[in-house]
A and B are shown apart, each in its own frame.
Chain A
Amino acid sequence: MREDTRTLVFAAIVCVTCSLLLSGTAAGLKNLQQANEEFDVKRNIVKAFGIDISSMDRPGIEATYEKHISENKTSDDLPIFMWTEDGASDPSKFAFPISGKGLWSTLYGYLSLQGDMQTIAGISFYKHGETPGLGAEIEKPWFQKQFAGKKLYSDEGKPLDFQVLKPGANLDETSVDGISGATLTGKGVQALIRKDAADYAEYFKSIKGN
């Protein structure tokens, strides 16, 4: 019996010590971690607007975000980000979050449109678990650069059938090259762009009408 009591007391002490230590660490570092995550989101929104951030440092990116970007909600309560140039009163570019399944994981990113609400201005992916060197190429500049200038909506504001094709296929204004060895990731990107473009079609149609 004495041995059992000792075991129980020891286990209790270990539990309490470990949990105190962990909650202390988590509480102490929470602010820093949150700041990191918020900054990561901001960095990717700035990037999605087609801005080259590779030579910008953290304060530079934060300043750009504060200066140009504002957040809003569509009438369907979907988040929308607006880019306003210096001195302009109306936003000139719009971005919205995109997400959907790749091969191994859910992909998260942002897509932005030019002021004509048809042409893609830029895209970024900030979270995914795809294979490095294959599916993970979606985060590389060569892949993302292709999207700028492509058409997402028709003149009437209807979503076009956006395509991620096999590398080397003939491209038109609604298709981009896929990644060789990562066909399924490409299919995922195509599907998520179509889905989110459909979700936002009404919104862009409504502001275009104004």
Chain B
Amino acid sequence: MASAAKKLLMDPFSDNNPITIQVLGICSALAVTVKVDTAIVMSLALTSVVTLSNLVISLLRNVIPSGIRMIVEMAVIASLVIIADQLLRAFLFDISKQLSVFVGLIITNCIVMGRAEAFALQNPPKESLLDGLGNGIGYGIILIAVATIREFLGFGSLLNHQLLPDSYMGNGLALLAPGAFIILGLLIWGQRTISKYVEE
């Protein structure tokens, strides 16, 4: 892969991660990370939405009238999210029940709108696609990391396979939003220490 394309795709994994560096998409990172399976499905849903929305908006970038730019972006994103939600309901019913409103809330996830505004509007389709894919995966990595820690501490299991003996009581804090905040905070700290990122 050419190095420019590689940078577009890989940068959001760590050095420019949407969650740990830009602190976007926190809401769903707290809400759907109780179990690993929901986190994986949520990551897949968001990755496909942000990749496709970046592609579509990049393709339209020269014809969108500037006055209704944001509304058009919202229409594209909302349509993609509803399609993703419909597909989940048809094919992954149990998980879609657990994700409940959070699939719909991808519409308001700052990462999707942010990438459309900041990248796809100025860049050609191929680069935009890679940028969307990279940001989706970067989001997914953090989501799954948080979910792994929470499910293990909270239930003693991973992907619903019991790892710790039944006598393990489960840590209620890990299952609640404050537990997610603490874990996410530690991840952000670790990540920023490694990538030497300093808030300006």
A53 contacts the other chain (CB 8 A): no
Do residues B172 and A134 form an inter-chain contact, with CB atoms below 8 A? Answer: yes
Q: Is the interface of B mostly helix, strand, loop or mixed?
A: helix
Is B93 in contact with A36, judged by CB distance below 8 angstroms? yes
- Output the least CB separation between A55 and chain B (Å): 15
- List 8 A-B pairs, Cβ < 8 Å: A6-B65, A11-B68, A18-B75, A25-B82, A25-B83, A33-B93, A132-B34, A133-B172
CB distance from A144 to the nearest CB of B (A): 17
Residue B72 at the chain A interface, CB threshold 8 Å? yes
Q: Is B40 an interface residue (CB 8 A)?
A: no
A142 to chain B, nearest CB (A): 11
Interface residue from A21, A22, A33, A133 paired with B175 (Cβ < 8 Å): A133
B100 touches A36 (CB 8 A): no
Q: Is the CB–CB distance between A133 and B154 below 8 Å?
A: yes
**Is A29 at the interface (CB under 8 A from chain B)?**
yes
Interface contact B65-A7, CB-CB below 8 Å: yes
User: Which residues in chain A, 162-210, are within 8 Å of chain B measured between CB atoms?
Assistant: 181
Interface of A is mostly: helix
The verdict on A3 contacting chain B, using a C-beta distance below 8 Å, is: yes
Chain B residue with minimal CB distance to A24?
Answer: B83
* Interchain CA distance A207-B76 in the complex, whole Å: 57
Instruction: Select one of A6, A22, A40, A131 contacting B82, CB under 8 A.
Output: A22
7 more A-B residue pairs beyond the given contacts A14-B76, A26-B86, A132-B35, with a C-beta to C-beta distance below 8 A:
A21-B79, A21-B83, A25-B87, A37-B93, A129-B100, A132-B175, A133-B34
Interface size on B, residues (CB 8 A): 29
Interfacial residues of chain B within 114-160, with CB under 8 A of chain A in the complex = 154-155
Contact B79–A10 (Cβ < 8 Å): no
User: In the complex, how many residues of chain A place their beta carbon closer than 8 angstroms to a beta carbon of chain B?
Assistant: 25
**Distance of A126 from chain B, by nearest CB (Å):** 9
Interface residues of B in 73-102 (CB under 8 A from A): 75-76, 78-79, 82-83, 86-87, 89-91, 93, 97, 100
Is A78 close to B, CB under 8 A? no
Interface on A for B, CB 8 Å cutoff?
3, 6-7, 10-11, 14-15, 18, 21-22, 25-26, 29, 32-33, 36-37, 40, 127, 129, 131-134, 181
Evaluate whether A181 and B64 lie within 8 angstroms (CB atoms) in the complex, with A14-B72, A29-B86, A29-B89 already known: no
CB of B25 within 8 A of chain A?
Answer: no
Which of B78, B86, B97, B155 has the most chain A CB atoms closer than 10 A to its own CB? B86
A3 touches B65 (CB 8 A): yes
Q: Select one of A7, A18, A25, A36 contacting B68, CB under 8 A.
A: A7
User: Are A14's CB and B75's CB within 8 A?
Assistant: yes
Residues of A within 8 A of B165 (CB): none
- What does the 1/0 interface line of B57-73 toward A look like (CB < 8 Å)? 00000011101100110
Nearest residue (CB) in B for A32 is B90
- What string of 1s and 0s marks CB contacts (under 8 Å) between B17-49 and chain A? 000000000000000001100000000000000
